[in-house]
Amino acid sequence: MQLQNDLLLRAAKGEKVERTPVWLMRQAGRILPQYRAVRESVSGFIELAQTPELAAEVTIQPVELLGVDAAIIFSDILVIPEAMGLPYEMVEKRGPWFPQTVQSEADLKKLRIADGANDLSYVIKAIEITKKELAGRVPLIGFAGAPWTIFAYMIEGSGSKTFSKARAMLYTQPEFSHRLLQMITNSTINYLKAQIQAGADLVQIFDSWAGILGPKQYQEFSLKYIAQICDAINQVPKTVFAKGAFFAREEMAKLNCETIGLDWNMGIAESRKLIGSTKTLQGNLDPAALYGNPDQVREATQDMMQQFKGTRHIANLGHGVYPDIDPEMVKVFIETVKKY
C-alpha cells in the first residue's frame, strides 16, 4: 500500500523532504487520557500489550490525537526474555520485575532462541491490525531492545541505578555473557524480521542502558551485537538509539543503519561532526522542556530545529515523553516542528 505520508522513511534514507518529520518515543501511552481509558479496561500493562486489538488501538491514538508522522507499535522491550523462556511482571510504580533471573549454566540451558512469529504472535498480530487500520496514513515503526539492555534485565531481575550484577557478569563470566548475548541477538533478529514481514516500515533498536557501560565494555558487549542485528536486517530503514552512549558516537557512525538517535545530553553539532553526514540524526529535545508554557516549548523546539537545520534530521525528544506532561504541550512541540 502506498503511504500517504512517507516523510519519516524519506528522511531516514536521506532523501529530499518538504519538512522535518516528527514523532515521539513513548507517544502511545501515559500522557493521553484516551490511552489511560483503554489501560483501565484491562488488568495492566502486560495484558494491554498482549491484546492485539487494544495494542493496535493505542498505537494509532497519537496519530489521530497528536498528528505525529509515524506510529510506533505499542509493546515492550522485555517481550524478548519472555519469549526466550524468562517471564516478567510489571509492578505498578516500580517497573519490570523478573521472578527468575539468569545466573548459571543451568539457567542458560532453560532458555531458547525465540522465533518471533510464533513466540511473539500477539505483537505480530497487533502490527497486522495496526497496518490495516492506519490504511497508509503514516509509516509504522517496529522495535526491539538492544541485546545488552535485555541482558541487563535478565541478570539483574529488575531496573537498577547501577546494574552492578549485570556489569559484574561481564567481568567475571565474559564467555557466559557472550553466549547469552548471542541468544538474545538471534531472538531479536527473528523478532524484527517477523515485525517487518507483518508490515513494520522501519525498526528501532533501543539501548536504554547503554550509558552505564564504559567505552571498552560497550564496544565488546553491546555494539558488536547491535551491528549483527543491523547487518541481518536489510528490508527497511533502521534506527539505533543508545541512551547515554555519547562516547560511542564515532563507532555508531560505522553501523549499517540509516539513523542514529541522540539523547538530550548529546550536543547536536558535535554529534554531527562525530557521526558524519551520511546518517540521519533523530532527536533530541530534552523531554523536560515540555513542562514549559507554550512560548517556552516553542522556543526550545525552534532552538533545536535551528541546530539541525540543513542536515538529515527526524525530530523527536532525547528520551521518552514523561507521563505527567500535558498533551497540549506535546502538540505545541509537534506543531512547531511542522511549521519550522
Q: What residues are annotated to the active site?
A: 26, 30, 39, 76, 153
How many of the other CB atoms lie within 10 Å of CB of 172?
A: 9
* CA–CA gap between residue 315 and residue 149 (Å, rounded): 24
Q: Is 19 left (phi over 0), alpha (psi -120 to 50) or beta?
A: beta
Maximal C-alpha separation, the chain: 57
Report which of 296, 314, 317, 192 is spatially closest to residue 258, judged by C-alpha positions: 314
CA dihedral (103, 108, 113, 114) in degrees, to 10, reads -50
Q: Other CB atoms closer than 10 Å to residue 177's CB: what's the count?
A: 21
Q: b/e per residue, 4-34, with b = 16+ CB within 10 A?
A: ebbbbbbbbebeebeebbbbbbbbbbebbee
Q: Are 3 and 134 in contact (CB under 8 A)?
A: no
> Degrees (nearest 5) of the Cα angle 245, 246, 249?
95
In single-letter form, the type of residue at position 81 comes to: P
The residue behind cell 500500500 is: 1
